[in-house]
Chain A
Amino acid sequence: MGPQACNTPPFDRRLNLLRQRFLGGLVPRVLLLEQQCNLLRKNESDGEALQAIRSECHKLAGVSASFGFHDIGAMAGQIDIGLSSGSLTWKELEPQLENLMDIMELHLENAFDET
């Protein structure tokens, strides 16, 4: 059978489950970002920490908006592009990262409130 548009409940249920798993996965992602931030606070030019942040933001930019979290995707995408082009200084990066982690935590709190 070829590709056809389909919005039947089983598929939406499956996507909903994935969305819940994505939300659950935000906790370790925030912790990882926070950990790399701490390293950069000690050494602004820590290449491994910058690369870890870029890699995480790149993944977040790709997957968040697909689950409906457009604000996370946009902020993570902005950081990804900034770090890829090498144009972001730590002074500029830090508030953006904190903003991203705040948005992620807000979604976690909302999800907790809903349950």
Chain B
Amino acid sequence: MKILVVDDDPMFTELMVAELAAIGLYNVDVAHSGFDALERALTESPGYDCFLLDIEMPGMDGVELCDRFKSNPVTQAAPIIMVSASAALGHVDDAFSKGATDYLNKPLHRRELLGRMRMVETLARRQAEQNSAQGTPAIDVGDPVNLSDASSCIDYLAMQNYVLKLGSLRMYNLIALGLHISNLPDVFAGREPVARKDALVDVAEIIVECLTGVEIMMSYAGHGDFVILLPRVPGYDPETFTYQMNCELDMLAEWCRNASEIAPVVRVGNPIYRNLLSFKSPDDILRAAMDDARAAKQCLGRPSAAETNFRAVAE
């Protein structure tokens, strides 16, 4: 695994290189500014499998660098771990919203570093397998697809790390909302394997549009499950959201009918809150929101003609 460590403090980069070597990771380069890192990452061949970025650096800071890496096709697939002494929660929010995979606090603890790097290696291996596959990989129903092309979408693993990092107090200020595509196998079955991601992105974009003006963070966890985090105050209006979603999904169904594709049918869960004194782990709220959406009775979006035909043939 090839790693780029970026920090303006040379003493810290040396320490990080030594600590990475101590856990068996020797293929490590360093850069001491955001600009150097960017240049290096874009010209290096083969590219890096992981970036470890300091947040506070003069010039281009780690959050901006993370954003640049995530918006460049050469670097966007590599997991990014933000590293900082600053426990300021604003930094955590910024980093995750720009696509960071996880966050590591200074001072360094070898056990913590080891845990993060094992997770990163699993992601890097999965990425390498996808890259070695011919063409665009086919997406299965259960895959937690990274929809970071759509605005406000982050990887599901990153969202889990994010809520764990926020802890109970910050989670109290957020609502988790689940949405479930109840006919995903049918939606996927009616499309070319390479076009399956488009169906998910369509739904993600509709959700974002129906929550315009609200600061949200969204992930797709696989099996048709979306989960959204949004602020508890000023509040979320379920009726307005459901109405708008229904209108947008109807329009999508129309489009799908013309394209002879099966339109997604979506269930929306109730907003899930977490009590301050809850004994559950903060990330349990994500699962609870998705389970609630699966159990919702009302379905949004109407089956397209193609879906009706598909079902008739299937029956």
Contacts from A to B (Cβ < 8 Å): 1-8, 11, 14-15, 18, 21-22, 25, 55, 58-59, 61-67, 70, 73, 77, 80-81, 84
Q: Cβ of B15 and Cβ of A5 under 8 Å apart?
A: no
Interface hits, B149-168 → A, CB 8 Å: none
How many angstroms between the C-alpha atoms of A26 and B249 in the bound complex? 63
**B108 interface residue, CB < 8 Å from A?**
yes
Which bucket holds chain B's interface residue count?
20 to 34
Residue of A nearest to B108 (CB): A66
**Pairwise interchain contact A62-B85, C-beta atoms closer than 8 A:** yes
- Nearest to B21 among chain A residues (CB) is A11
Q: Write the chain B residue with the least CB distance to A13.
A: B18
Shortest Cβ gap from A95 to chain B (Å): 22
Distance (Å) between the CB of A8 and the closest chain B CB? 8
30 residue pairs A–B, Cβ–Cβ below 8 Å: A1-B24, A3-B121, A5-B111, A6-B22, A6-B23, A6-B24, A7-B22, A8-B22, A11-B21, A11-B22, A14-B21, A15-B15, A15-B18, A18-B14, A55-B58, A58-B56, A59-B9, A61-B85, A62-B9, A62-B107, A63-B9, A63-B12, A63-B15, A65-B106, A65-B107, A66-B12, A66-B108, A70-B107, A81-B86, A84-B86
Interface string of B79-121 (1 = CB under 8 A from A): 0000011101000000000000000001110110010011001
- State whether B9 touches A80 (Cβ < 8 A): no
Complex Cα gap A14–B18 (Å): 7
Contacts of A11 in B (CB 8 A): 18, 21-22
8 Å CB interface, B123-164 against A: none
B263 to chain A, nearest CB (A): 43
Tell me, in angstroms, the Cα distance from A80 to B86 when the chains sit together.
8
| B8, B19, B24, B88: the one within 8 Å of A84 (CB) | B88
Bound: A11/B14 CA distance, A: 12
Within 8 Å CB of B88, what residues of A? Answer: 81, 84
> Assuming the A-B contacts A64-B107, A66-B107, are A18 and B24 also in contact, with contact meaning beta carbons closer than 8 angstroms in the complex?
no
Besides A3-B117, A63-B12, A80-B86, 19 new A-B residue pairs in contact (Cβ under 8 A), listed by A number: A2-B121, A3-B114, A6-B23, A14-B21, A15-B15, A21-B11, A25-B11, A55-B58, A59-B8, A61-B85, A62-B107, A64-B107, A66-B106, A67-B15, A70-B107, A73-B85, A80-B85, A81-B86, A84-B86
